[in-house]
Structure 1
Amino acid sequence: MRRAGRAAYGPRVITLIQPTVDLHQQWLASYLEFGDDVAHGYGDLRWSVEKLSSSTGFADFVTTKLSYADPATIMPEGLVHDSLFWVVDDAAPRTILGSLSLRHTLNDFLLREGGHIGYGVRPSARRRGIATAALRLGLVEATSIGLQRVLVTCDTDNVASAKTIERCGGRLEDIRGTSRRYWIELT
């Protein structure tokens, strides 16, 4: 399992890790905690909860998501290459606090709404600085794949996410529909 980077949040440290089948139940608990809300940053979920609940279905999800980071992979229609990371606390590395998806390029949809980086923190782990630390690590990963600036978006009514993006250097370009669009320069 590749560890992408470490960042402090308060007195603690988080790490971004690549998905692994070893954390199936922990990931599922994190994902299900969102309930009916969108689990931003958890990746393109074309898998049903029923399939993700099975070890075989989850292994398919992890294998597929890991392959999407490889530029040689031929992507399904409408998707772009992306690297998926899970957010864990170094003090409790088997507890998934959230997820971050780094899209390597933008298609028309991502340019309007999704951006290069999507992230989500499970509801029980919010308001601790985890999203800010995870986004900072995502920006380091974006630099490592050669991006010079990234688009990060959030819903217009998501004040906490807007503040997170701004703390990480985001400059508001505009609002399109229900999405606030921020660019972050990496150079």
Structure 2
Amino acid sequence: MTRPEPVAQTGVPRLAPPSGRVHLSFVAAMEEFRAEGRGGADDDTTLGRTLRDYGDKWHDPVVFERYVAEVHEAVHPAEPLSVPVTTLWYADGGNYLGRLAIRHNIATRFLREYGGHIGYDVRPTARRRGHATAMLIDSLPYARALGLTSVLVTCDSDNTGSRKVIESAGGAFDDERGGKLRYWIETGD
């Protein structure tokens, strides 16, 4: 298998299903997350766990393809008690900017209290440019297509940036639980 060629930027970032088109940029983004301390043993986020599982292997195109396939398969999890997840990557052509995960339900206590329906990450060098807000707003039709009329989105109580993102996307504050601010966002008609 050959290494993917970088894809030109289009100037219009978009959410799309994960693909090998952003392989090189994705690997660089994961290194940025690691450089800021993500992926350590105490990082129990999806990104943290994924960095521990794949971080040293993503450079291999075969492993990257397998990872992309696993992300796609999370929509139909093999384990009966797993929550289905649709993951979308936010990219400008071949430039990976971030990812967003939509949980099809919040059937577990953790998700109902703290995790919510939608989680997102923007690579460190792409932050403070409106990408997180655009990603969250652009994800609402996807959530609506899954039958979700409103979604729970949470952030750490001290994460001012994420709070502003959620509020800019129409988040209505519900409450705070265990250091997490909880917001509901209507997905539209």
Offset from partner CA, 1:40-59 (integer Å, 9 cap, x none):
77596272312334333322
Within the candidate set 87, 90, 108, 1:87 is matched to 90
The residue number in structure 2 matching 1:60 is 66
Offset from partner CA, 1:128-185 (integer Å, 9 cap, x none):
1111110001111101111011000111111011011011111111111121111112
With the length of structure 1 as denominator, give the TM-score of the two structures: 0.81
Secondary structure at the residue paired with 2:91?
A: strand
Partner letter of residue 98 of structure 1? G
The residue number in structure 2 matching 1:9 is none
Partner letter of residue 67 of structure 1? E
Larger radius of gyration: 2
Report if the CA contact (8 A) 1:41-1:117 is conserved.
no
Offset from partner CA, 1:23-48 (integer Å, 9 cap, x none):
22221111221121369775962723
The residue number in structure 2 matching 1:47 is 53
Offset from partner CA, 1:78-132 (integer Å, 9 cap, x none):
x31111111112xxx1000111111111122111221111111111111111111
Task: Write out aligned runs for 1:32-181 (5 A).
Answer: 32-35=31-34, 36-37=37-38, 42=47, 45=50, 47-70=53-76, 73-75=77-79, 79-89=82-92, 93-106=93-106, 107-181=108-182
CA distance in 2, matches of 1:75, 1:42: 20
Secondary structure at the residue paired with 1:157?
A: coil
The residue number in structure 2 matching 1:3 is none
Partner letter of residue 65 of structure 1? V
RMSD between superposed Cα atoms in Å: 2.3
More strand by share: 1
Q: Structure 2, unaligned stretches of length 5 or more?
A: 1-10
Secondary structure at the residue paired with 1:27?
A: helix
Structure 1 residue 69: Cα displacement: 1.7
Report if the CA contact (8 A) 1:174-1:180 is conserved.
yes
Report if the CA contact (8 A) 1:52-1:58 is conserved.
yes
With the length of structure 2 as denominator, give the TM-score of the two structures: 0.80
CA distance in 1, matches of 2:135, 2:168: 12
